[in-house]
Structure 1
Amino acid sequence: MATGDLALVLHAHLPYVHSSEPGSLEEDWYFQALLECYLPLLEVLESAGADPLQRPRLSMGLSPTLLSLLSNTELSARFGPWLAVRQELLHQAPAGHTAAAANVAQLLGRASHAWQLCGGDLLPRFQRLQQAGVLDLLTCAATHGYLPLLRDSPEAVRAQLLTAVREHQRLLGVRPQGIWLPECAFYEGLDRLLVSCGLRYAILDAHGLLHGQPRPRYGVYAPVCTPAGMAFFGRDSESTLPVWSARDGYPGDPSYREFHRDLGWDLPADELEQRGIPCPRPLGLKLHRVSGRDCSLDAKQPYEPGEAQRCVQRDAVHFLQGRARHLQRLEGAMDRRPLLVAPFDAELFGHWWFEGPQFLGALFRQAPSQGVGLVTLRETLSRGDALQLCQPSPSSWGQGGYHNYWLNDSNAWVIPEWNRASRAMVERVSRGVGSEAARELLDQAGRELLLAQSSDWSFILKAGTTTDLARERIQRHLGRFWRLLEAIDGTAPLPEGWLEEVRREDALFPLLNAADWTRLPAPPPPP
């Protein structure tokens, strides 16, 4: 039996994709994540938590923008009709895909029933799981801003953090202690800002700890603490690769469901238009299996749910046995209980890898018999073990390990725009707010600045997918920001109805406080 623990950590995040018009591509992102990821994950966690023979434990970040979407009643009202359209379109499934179509129909039906049962409000379900000790809920930066690239104005970083903490407490009822740093990105001095905002622990990629000063005695197999009082956990790549990699890991198994082949690409455009879908796009109706590493999309075979389920059980046991062997090796080399930290994007489980929630359910069932203890990050710290003092290294979990995915030829143009807007916000707030009307305008300017800073748009620009959408979103929010600042100073009055429309579209973070951008005192000189 291994003596050690495994901490599974998921990060659930979507950019703020609320649209006043139903049927948008961005709305599809959210609804597909609900259908394939968030609802199935809750179902698995609740089922495991109700079983006295299991001890499910999971740390999970819920980004403030995702919380805003989950609490949006207008969006919630659209999800049922969205499901109904897909139930209708599923009747167009080609012959030979009976089992796959039945599997999707069952998924749609369960989602519809679960949505009605909770009144379209998932947040109480997350709260109950945290109260039961199953979940340790973390926050994130307000709009998933890539913090190392906002550091030119530390007030901008502080505003991202304070807004996140308030929103988490408002919607989930407790102040967060842990944070999933966007892209696990860290820079020198960030730990002091995190602690000043009431946060106590976060996750970094392995090199963030291994290149720290001094190098941690236990590597990534125990948390460290900075002199400012912030604890950091390091990612164990050996525990993430089998799950993360579509090519070399479990999701690439020929029996699992194929992500890229979707009925939305196969149906006639006029069939889609009749149901309010303006052009061919993924619908979340996937009927094929991976079939083989080099198999073309046209040659994919029908999905067989029974065979995929057998693979899930096999892969869960294989994963746990690998972790048990790893812990046994560490046990002989450490004088404390070793910890394996395995962080993932939550959307991997169900959206990108359809069987992912079932895999987690199998892990929860099998972990006791395989000798692997499951823990949350908060549980680990609550044991009171002494932590080594260490100053982590600048790092991220992005391609290249540092900041180049968010700072390159495709997206570098936005960095000076963020910085110019942040400096203007700090300067205007530090002069004093003035009237109540000016305060409201300044608060809305803060929302637009935060929305423009979302790392999702920079990521899309680099990835080269929906680049026009990403560029338009950045420019829209920055344009609104500057217009609001001009209106505050009286240089350009707002057109009639403009402010109301902006507030309706960007109606998030009701507790946002423009004072968060008040100029910070200069840091003391180095000794």
Structure 2
Amino acid sequence: MNEINSKKNVLGQLAIVLHAHLPYVRKNEKNSLEEDWLFQAILECYIPLLQAIESSKKENPSNTKLTISLSPTLLSLLKNKQIQETFPNWIKTRNDLLSELPQKEKNASIFLMKNINDRYLYWQECSGNLIERFNILNKSGNLDILTCAATHGYLPILRENPETVKGQINTAIRNHENIFGNKPYGIWLPECAYYENLDEILYDSGIRYAILDGHGILNATPRPRYGVYAPICSKKGIAFFGRDSESTLPVWSAKDGFPGDKVYREFHKDLGWELPSSKLQNKGISTKRPLGLKFHKITNENVPLGEKEFYLENEAINKAAEHADAYLVARSKQLEKLTLSSSFNPLLVAPFDAELFGHWWYEGPFFIKNILKNSSKYSIKLTNLKEFLIQKPNLQICEPSPSSWGQGGYHNYWINDSNAWIVPEITKAGSTFVDLCSKNFNNDLSKRLFNQAARELLLSESSDWSFILRAGTTTELAKERIERHLFRFWKLVEMIKNYSKINLKFLEDIEEEDKVFPDINIDDWRR
């Protein structure tokens, strides 16, 4: 089929939405696990995604359209100069480990070392400023960059103190504006979680559109006439886009979807688990853990990790191209069926965690590149959410349903036996801080104490730690993070209430380590 030449050839539109987020994992400790999270995401996800979008833009600028949310904590990490200065040594450590492998393994990992160094060259060429590369694509209209809540706080469990919800959202908006030079109109609600009347807070903060899981739209009142295939508008004036499960399942599911193909790279077999502890310690790595050094393929899901075959990059790249075509064929058929049964121009919204592409699914950026390159061949117009709304579609007025995209579809994943203890802790802290903010302070030291207390409160509210506790992975780390930020918060509250107990060294230390949101404004927490 030829390129799209006119509007009548378009079967419908597809909006791929990526959510790029990491919790604030900065720590005054070299070679930490948290540092690995960031650097692996930079190397495996953010850089190759930028390369894929930039490459497609050169070939097909009008149909290279994506929506991406860049969370405020991720932006803070990407901007941090000390983190940027640490990245080269992190790269060197991995290159050293690969170069010291036995010859057979070294040959099998040549592709990996090449990709590491090619992507590090990209990093050097932009002086580590990935944010500017995203912003260039935002200004050209190829990307629509959304914000998120400041620390990815799960908003439904913060609702008892509405000011804490406003603090999460307004801090995020201010952070976004200071980095990109313009206020965001769209937001990725953490975990796509919505509760009644949240749209009022969003509207008052300047937000105009957001994404929900499909049942947040399908269970809206009244029931939307076009289901998830068109956004709805709440009475407060917020447009809500719904996730289309048919467009996401082939990519989400490792078992039934593309990422589980036997030729793709095996995520779970990592050199960091296999090298002797003494060798890791010689490189400054204190414990065994994934290092992002993987050069085996899935082979077969029933094959033990020790028997996986070596990865063949060309084979996997070709398969990613095949899967991209299969995905576009399926979307074209889906859109054709929708247009035959109704008279509207349907929109398919496919939201994903950005880190799926490259980190979890190593070939994901190649898949995205082929989607961007070939979508018009299948009469599919790629769009982003901002561009869609600029067309001024006639939206049905509906009240969305409380929902999330977590397991079970509502709030169970964040309120259960493993993590429910967090809710009263952050609720009490939030209530105390709102009360404190109603009082006046009149000197610079007080302002520093209040500002840092607000940061610690925000950091304690991060949904990532609740998620980890429920998932049962690095639970000790998650628990330590929550307790660390709450301890710092209450220590600062004590100092605010009693100036004779001010510990300047303590304040300076945590200001240095939790150096996030320099533009924080405690007015956001005032009643």
TM, length-normalised to structure 1: 0.97
Q: Select between 359-368 and 428-437 the one with higher mean Cα deviation.
A: 428-437
Which ranges of structure 1 fall in alignment gaps of 5 or more residues?
A: 520-527
> Does the alignment pair 1:370 with 2:361?
no
1:389 to 363, 383, 397: 397
SS of equivalent to 1:511:
coil
Q: Select between 158-167 and 272-281 the one with higher mean Cα deviation.
A: 272-281
Structure 1 letter corresponding to 2:387 = E
On the 8 A contact 1:61/1:140 being kept in 2, the answer is yes
Map 1:219-368 → 2, pairs under 5 A: 219-368=227-376
SS of equivalent to 2:228:
coil
Which ranges of structure 2 fall in alignment gaps of 5 or more residues?
A: 1-8
Structure 1 residue 96 displacement after superposition: 3.8
1:419 alignment partner in structure 2: 427
SS of equivalent to 1:350:
coil
On the 8 A contact 1:460/1:466 being kept in 2, the answer is yes
> Does the alignment pair 1:189 with 2:189?
no
Q: Report Cα offsets for 1:269-306 as digits up to 9, x if no partner.
A: 11111111112111111010011122221121110111
Structure 1 letter corresponding to 2:188 = W
Q: Select between 327-336 and 148-157 the one with higher mean Cα deviation.
A: 327-336
SS of equivalent to 1:332:
helix
SS of equivalent to 2:109:
helix
2:39 to 31, 35, 57: 31
SS of equivalent to 2:457:
helix
Q: Report Cα offsets for 1:251-273 as digits up to 9, x if no partner.
A: 00000000000111111111111
Map 1:123-142 → 2, pairs under 5 A: 123-142=131-150
Q: Select between 216-225 and 87-96 the one with higher mean Cα deviation.
A: 87-96
Structure 1 residue 8 displacement after superposition: 0.2
CA distance in 2, matches of 1:99, 1:148: 51
1:207 to 206, 215, 227: 215
CA distance in 2, matches of 1:513, 1:54: 39
Q: Select between 61-70 and 99-108 the one with higher mean Cα deviation.
A: 99-108
SS of equivalent to 2:251:
helix
The change in CA–CA distance for 1:262 and 1:489 in structure 2 (over 3 A counts) is: same
On the 8 A contact 1:486/1:492 being kept in 2, the answer is no
2:510 alignment partner in structure 1: 502
Structure 1 letter corresponding to 2:207 = L
On the 8 A contact 2:147/2:172 being kept in 1, the answer is yes
SS of equivalent to 1:66:
helix
On the 8 A contact 1:209/1:393 being kept in 2, the answer is yes
CA distance in 1, matches of 2:267, 2:180: 32
Structure 1 letter corresponding to 2:176 = H
Structure 1 residue 97 displacement after superposition: 4.2
Q: Select between 72-81 and 287-296 the one with higher mean Cα deviation.
A: 287-296
CA distance in 2, matches of 1:203, 1:288: 36
CA distance in 2, matches of 1:318, 1:98: 34
Structure 1 residue 492 displacement after superposition: 6.0
Q: Report Cα offsets for 1:207-236 as digits up to 9, x if no partner.
A: 001111000000000000000000000000
Q: Select between 109-118 and 320-329 the one with higher mean Cα deviation.
A: 109-118
Structure with greater proportional helix content: 2
Q: CA RMSD in A?
A: 1.2
Structure 1 residue 152 displacement after superposition: 0.5
On the 8 A contact 2:199/2:234 being kept in 1, the answer is yes
Structure 1 residue 93 displacement after superposition: 3.6
Structure 1 residue 384 displacement after superposition: 0.7
Map 1:94-173 → 2, pairs under 5 A: 94-97=102-105, 100-173=108-181
CA distance in 1, matches of 2:488, 2:62: 51
The change in CA–CA distance for 1:233 and 1:370 in structure 2 (over 3 A counts) is: same
Map 1:55-94 → 2, pairs under 5 A: 55-94=63-102
On the 8 A contact 1:68/1:509 being kept in 2, the answer is yes
2:5 alignment partner in structure 1: none
CA distance in 1, matches of 2:56, 2:107: 27
1:407 alignment partner in structure 2: 415
SS of equivalent to 1:136:
strand
SS of equivalent to 2:196:
coil
On the 8 A contact 1:93/1:263 being kept in 2, the answer is no
1:458 to 457, 466, 480: 466
CA distance in 2, matches of 1:404, 1:498: 37
On the 8 A contact 1:240/1:342 being kept in 2, the answer is yes
CA distance in 1, matches of 2:118, 2:292: 15
SS of equivalent to 1:471:
helix
2:21 alignment partner in structure 1: 13
Q: Report Cα offsets for 1:108-163 as digits up to 9, x if no partner.
A: 11122111111111111011001111100000000000000000100000000000
CA distance in 2, matches of 1:477, 1:251: 36
Q: Report Cα offsets for 1:336-381 as digits up to 9, x if no partner.
A: 2100000000000000000000000011111111111100001111
TM, length-normalised to structure 2: 0.97
Structure 1 letter corresponding to 2:48 = P
Structure 1 residue 250 displacement after superposition: 0.3
Structure 2 letter corresponding to 1:275 = K
Q: Select between 3-12 and 85-94 the one with higher mean Cα deviation.
A: 85-94
On the 8 A contact 1:100/1:305 being kept in 2, the answer is no
The change in CA–CA distance for 1:494 and 1:388 in structure 2 (over 3 A counts) is: same
Structure 2 letter corresponding to 1:411 = N
Structure 1 residue 435 displacement after superposition: 2.8
On the 8 A contact 1:99/1:304 being kept in 2, the answer is no
CA distance in 2, matches of 1:473, 1:441: 20
CA distance in 1, matches of 2:371, 2:426: 43
On the 8 A contact 2:60/2:373 being kept in 1, the answer is no
The change in CA–CA distance for 1:339 and 1:52 in structure 2 (over 3 A counts) is: closer
On the 8 A contact 1:54/1:364 being kept in 2, the answer is no
Structure 2 letter corresponding to 1:57 = K
